Structure 1
Amino acid sequence: MPFTLATWNINSVRLREPLVLRFLSDYQPDILCLQECKSPVEKIPREAFTALGYRHMVARGQKGYNGVAILSKLPIKEAGAEDHANLGHARHIAGRLENGVAIHNFYVPAGGDKPDRLINEKFGQKLDYLSDMRDAFHSAVPQKSILVGDLNIAPREDDVWDHKKLLKIVSHTPIEVEALAQAQDAGNWVDVTRADIPDGNLYSWWSYRASDWDAADKGRRLDHVWATPDISNAAHSSRILRDVRGWTQPSDHAPVLATFDL
């Protein structure tokens, strides 16, 4: 049976619980992967999600920072959680559906403001995290898997509002783009969103700093849906729900969706 999967950096699942509930009610994905939950697992508001049919959850959390969760209408069992770069952060959770498909939900470090690991520890952590992802995929090449999340990198020139202006801005620097490409290549991952929408500017994040983010449209595609080649052809109907970015007290990210006929 086909299922629709969504990924969304929610920027506090407790603060934005009403938005999650509205999204689940309006769009009804079968699976929702959340990043930056900023909550211990036991304080994620599961009861409200369960009432809408999302009875299954796997998650990793910590107080006030990071955190990843997979909410699902479909039965799902935890399939591991990696602490890449040994940061001690809740940045990855994996679940496995009854049909054997594994879902990896990642929240890659943002990397701070300066793209230089010698003066910015956070940028070094980001690069190390991506290197560990690459090495993990080399060690055990994934199969029948989907990878989603806020990867905090906009890889293509048309994934940012101005390629030349952002070449020295964290999230679009050549060293980050190359690091992400190496991780993607190591797992033979297919960029499902761009397979469906190959041409044109495409963004999933707009800064809070822009007073009129919609008109300025200085966006970046930081949120991704990938799949292994053995199931990537089953993906279709990719879309980014830009209007959700305009809801009251929104996250600065918009949900990204894809449907899989599996």
Structure 2
Amino acid sequence: MTRLGIITIGQAPRTDLTPEITALLPRAAVVERGVLDGLTRAGIEARPPRADEHALTTRLADGSPVVIGESLVMERLPGVLAELERETDAVLLACTGGFPRLEHAKPLFVPDRMIAFGAAALLGETGRLGVLCPLPEQREDTAAKFGRRLPAGARVLTEACSPYTGTGEELAAAAARLAAGGAELLALDCVGYTGEMRARAAAASGLPVVLARSVCARLAAEVLDSLDARTGAAS
């Protein structure tokens, strides 16, 4: 059986995330690791995001949310990735944040590109894409990330609602505002957003919604199935 490594930028296990991903990968065994594994909350909070870096939100092993800086992630991520590659056939980075290029020896699934290019492929040449991101301070970067991948005549609208601390009502209201602003398609740009949240956003907006975690899992399944077939042919 093919083994897929999942790296969260928080702590493993991610009981809010992994079951939805594994449901879409019935022929893969999953191995989880967290960039913050082994750190205490006090140690993490002693390294808040700097003013000049991207802020990211994630979840700790006890289920509580935390906001961290990209620099803390990048100090630890390469080592976690290298270790996990020794145990698996491919790795999924469970974060839609944009990171510098990571050295890897096996297939690496990067949601940042997968959700942005996927949404662009579904949008018309002059369409409006509504994107929901976790933090208000992420909205500008989110608009730029998707804007780079969209056709020249398309537009990006953004709203913020955390999948970890926001309520269902707040998420629905944000989705409705995007629809009222003219969005034709919604993208939930964080792997923390769940299938239930997608359904709520779709109901509130009346629009089709693409969910980062399922987009990544479905595309990963395509590659993992081919790895299975290759292994079977070799044997």
Normalised-by-shorter TM-score class: 0.3 to 0.5
Between structures 1 and 2, the one with greater helix share: 2
Greater per-residue strand proportion: 1
Compute the TM-score of the two structures, normalised by the length of structure 2.
Answer: 0.37
